[in-house]
Structure 1
Amino acid sequence: MFLNKQASAPRPWLRPVLAALLALTVAACGADKPAASPDEAATADSGSEAAAGTQAAEQAAQADALAELGVDELRERGRTAYAESRLYAPAGDNALEYYLALREKSPGDAAVASVLTDLMPMLVIATEQARDREDFEEARRLAGLVARADPDHPARQRLQASISGAEEAAQRRIAQQALSAEQEAERQRQLAAEREKAQAEQQRQAAEELARQQRTEREAAERAEAGRVAEEQRAAEQRAAQQRQTVQSPAPAPAAAATALRPLSTPAPRYPVDALRAAQSGEVQVEFTVAPDGSVSDARVVRANPPRIFDREAVAAVRRWRFEPVPEPVTTRRTIAFSPGG
């Protein structure tokens, strides 16, 4: 359950002013208005100080009431007030005060700090607007929230000074206009109605602006994530294409490197007796490696036609071959033909 909304009380600083005005009105029935006495002037000047003290006491009581709530309840109430556009009003039941109380219980909460940072510009504007419509009680309350949220805020002293100056000017104007108690009471009612209307509209606009900013940030994050996923997908497709190309592309023929080989001795293979008697011909492709000293190693049959007839003699012959020394081992292939009439 939310805290009960505080009813708008008559401004304390008006009581001595109205008393002085009433005395002036009675005296005017039989004579000219007398000048205000030093005591009366001092009493009028102390009005704003008394109002500030009363309001400070009320704010302290509200803060104590919020301090009695637990962390979870403060967080839930803050979220609800934020969602319902109760950003800084009414007093004691708004998102700003809930999150200030929550900050005192959880000083390192980054989410709380972020919300307070978002609300500060709107709180400063609301304070200036309350001052300009001469709602000094509300202006002092909001200025107090600015000081609580950020004691070092650059606008804090300026706001307090401008509120005091505007309030003194309003007091002088009221004294000059000699408003009756009924007129001042009516003005106070109108001011309360204007305050409620202005706060509702201001908070609605502020909530819409916050929602727009959050939506923009969320959309930017979604676009960045989509771009990252697309880039990863393109990179994966490129890697897959390269792998397919590697598998499908034939390996360079080892024989291509043989152009750099210079044979020194390549004795012909011995013709198998059975194949010679049968006048059988064929060929064998042998792959082998030439070592840096020109000797042959790792000779093996790659292809033979017919198979297993000339394989042994072809490999034996290749192993006896010699080449000029090379800088590094070279693997190559040679095809050896067998013909009974050769």
Structure 2
Amino acid sequence: MSVATISKKSRWVALSPVVLALAVAVAGCSKDEPASTAAPAAAPAAVAAPPAPAVSAQVQAMGADELRAAANKALAENRIYAPGGDNAMEYYLALRDKLPSDPAVASALTDLMPYTLIATEQSIGRDDFVEAQRLSGLLEKADPKAPALPRLKQSIAAAQLAVTARAETAKTKEVTDAEAKVLETKRLAQQAEQQRVAAEALATQQQQDAARKAEADRVAAAQREAAAAAQREAAARTATTTPATPAAAARPAANALKVVSSPSPRYPPEALRAGTSGEVLVEITVGTDGSVTNARVVRATPARVFDREALNAVRRWKFEPIDAPTTTRRTLAFNPG
């Protein structure tokens, strides 16, 4: 290989004729590498294993001429620092171990180091720490005192810590999201239960309101019926009022009737259980023998609750004999207490 000798002072500036041919491709260096060099870390959160030796054992076992030929071919194919075990940097490093005084080899390594440095930084940037450590190992073997080495090692360590921290943050967020989902599910269940209880309470309230309205309507209807009955009774009394005849005047007045027996009416069981009270105004006709010959309900409050029992009771009543049949009215009260 023909490599120009470059002074120690200008090594990091000037490039050998062979390497100059590669300078045009430096911007696309990472694109021209074999796919294995750009493989992303399979598990970014995990700390990479210690790097393998900078130069593979297979390369170290090659002879000087074989290494020189392999290095020329690698440069021609743009394999400056990758793939591992088949790149110009490893071939030159192994050749330098065999020919430590060869200035062409030293110059070639000096020329290739900037590209390896850039590739190392790119590997760190994409969290490919295994590749970054391999490349930094090449740099360290080429020049253990290279000024960029401490920075590169610190960058690798810091990037590994950052990736681990991101992984922990993601894990914490996942746990937090799961807990938030559980809390949200619990909140929705509690909200649904509260709405169910509220709906039941509302339905009960509506039923109670409907029952109270029905009772109020029933009482109002009974009162209207009683008022109508009273009006009919008053009208009937007005219509039947006639001048008293001598015979009528001789008859005893209704308030002159003397009760011999007046059994109390039976309390309807349904009304007794319900605690319902009321009264019934009945009109009865008493025969000359003192028995009740006719009876009818004039007014009842509430209507049709105590009517039957009131009529059954007054039909059994007995009065002292009178000269002529007499019609009168009596009020029967029903009180469960």
Name the TM-score, length of structure 1 as normaliser. Answer: 0.37
Considering fraction of residues, name the structure with more helix: 1
Task: Select the structure of larger CA radius of gyration.
Answer: 2
Name the TM-score, length of structure 2 as normaliser. Answer: 0.38
